[in-house]
Amino acid sequence: AQLVESGGGSVQTGGSLRLSCRSSGYRTNSYCMAWFRQSPGKEREAVAVIDSDGSATYADSVKGRFTISIDKTVNTLYLQMNNLKPEDTAIYYCAARPDECMTGIWALGLMDTIFPSWGHGTQVTVSS
């Protein structure tokens, strides 16, 4: 799948942003889409994933603040980010795979290894 992100920008602490990721789409019944982020000097980390049934999983650091969703009618993945904090500053990437999400490996830090398709990334900056 080809993925194109949009919606990044600069906000103050407590602000909101919505990221979008337009996908060419997988023609499979089972797929997984995700948002990752990477800050300077840090490894890329999984933020949220959602499978084709709509089941979502979040990193502890964003639970209650971020919401991942898919609009299948327009093949677009979203990440609604509320109550943003300076530590949320990063480049955000969307990713996709034509299979289940395999969240069992999340704790091992291996989520990014199972996604074959990636977007180019969009910058999110949160100032204090």
pLDDT at residue 25, rounded to an integer = 63
- Note down pLDDT in tens along the chain; length 128 residues: 799 999 999 999 999 999 999 998 666 778 899 999 999 999 999 999 999 899 999 999 999 999 999 998 899 999 999 999 999 999 999 999 999 898 889 988 888 999 999 999 999 999 99
CA 69 – CA 123 distance, rounded (Å): 20
